[in-house]
Chains A and B, each alone.
Chain A
């Protein structure tokens, strides 16, 4: 504790604003301020300075929020989609791919059998097998690219 009452009062005036003071300190300060004009003036100056600081008027730039909202939305369009549903989609695609791999010998035999029964040249049913695998992937890729193209056009 500071022995000089004026220094102590000045410290408490600041402390009161910054981190708070105990009720005992408040009582002591109030009693001191009642009898000390100099410290009362410090208290008044502090209050006045803070009031002016708090009440300071600042003019916002015109349409600041609207312009920022637009910029944020445009940036959001550029970012990769943060869609939890997409994880599920990828999981389904992965499982589908694994099942496809497991069933590949059966599909191959199925096409071979159908080709033989219909009397088709070997190359025809082999192309059929290839298309069986490629077409779903091509359709999916096409859909994704189409979506991206549509998004880009909307942004522009």
Chain B
């Protein structure tokens, strides 16, 4: 079946959404061909998500690789009930949270409860370069980049999952391990912040 996926004309993306059970079986068997294809297929989306989450290209790259190693190691835990990307992003997110917990243990709790503190979860390293600086294309730097850096990462995260990944609210809730109501609340705030930031106001 997997061999068919590589044939020209058959769209892998449709296979991804239709056959999560197949992916689950392949991951259980640690099928190297499957993993190679998944890495190829999800490289842009996962990297983009990690970039928004970490605010650093180098860290995003490290977490990208680490995420796939985890996928290999814990592939047997994926049961195909949710879309693969939801599980993938959950792993990536947990890795970032673990790193953040190790880095700033005192701020971890506020990180998990951003509704109480909208300015929390700023994972930017103060000493590092401006997030996304080297990533965005030149023509966008002035606008989108500057605007996005004004938005707290908790909101950026849900904005990415909803409006770039086009995930359902329930799927986002799974990735974030949080109630749907919280997801909605973050999305409303995030959207407001995005609109404000893009139009030059404060986020």
Which residue of A18, A56, A82 contacts B136 across the interface (Cβ within 8 Å)? A56
CB within 8 Å of A: which of B142-200? 143-144, 147-148, 159, 162-164, 169, 184, 187-188, 191-192, 194-195, 197-199
Asked, given contacts A72-B35, A72-B68, A82-B29, whether A58 binds B194 with beta carbons under 8 Å apart, the answer is no
Contact indicator A57/B159 (Cβ below 8 Å):
no
Judged by a CB distance under 8 angstroms, whether B39 is at the interface is yes
Distance to closest chain A CB from B134 (angstroms): 8
Interface footprint category on A: 20 to 34
* A2-31 Cβ-contact flags toward B at 8 Å (1 or 0): 000000000000100111000000000000
Could you name 19 residue pairs across A and B whose Cβ atoms are closer than 8 Å?
A18-B162, A18-B191, A45-B198, A45-B199, A46-B191, A49-B197, A50-B163, A50-B191, A52-B198, A53-B144, A58-B135, A67-B65, A68-B65, A68-B68, A75-B69, A76-B30, A76-B32, A79-B73, A82-B76
Judged by a CB distance under 8 angstroms, whether B123 is at the interface is no
Chain A contacts of B126 at CB under 8 A?
Answer: none
Judged by a CB distance under 8 angstroms, whether B61 is at the interface is yes
Contact indicator A49/B194 (Cβ below 8 Å):
yes
Judged by a CB distance under 8 angstroms, whether B47 is at the interface is yes
Chain A contacts of B191 at CB under 8 A?
Answer: 14, 17-18, 46, 49-50
Judged by a CB distance under 8 angstroms, whether B40 is at the interface is yes
Contact indicator A69/B35 (Cβ below 8 Å):
yes
Judged by a CB distance under 8 angstroms, whether B117 is at the interface is no
State the total of A-B contacts with C-beta under 8 angstroms: 110
Distance to closest chain A CB from B195 (angstroms): 5
* A40-61 Cβ-contact flags toward B at 8 Å (1 or 0): 0010011011101110111111
Contact indicator A65/B43 (Cβ below 8 Å):
yes
Q: Which 9 A-B pairs have the closest CB atoms?
A: A49-B198, A57-B137, A18-B187, A65-B43, A49-B195, A49-B194, A68-B65, A69-B36, A65-B40
* B43-75 Cβ-contact flags toward A at 8 Å (1 or 0): 110011001000001000100110011011100
Asked, given contacts A45-B195, A82-B30, whether A57 binds B164 with beta carbons under 8 Å apart, the answer is no
Q: Is the interface of A mostly helix, strand, loop or mixed?
A: helix
Interface footprint category on B: 35 or more
Chain B contacts of A53 at CB under 8 A?
Answer: 144, 148, 159, 163-164, 194, 198
Judged by a CB distance under 8 angstroms, whether A148 is at the interface is no
Contact indicator B44/A58 (Cβ below 8 Å):
yes
Contact indicator B184/A71 (Cβ below 8 Å):
no
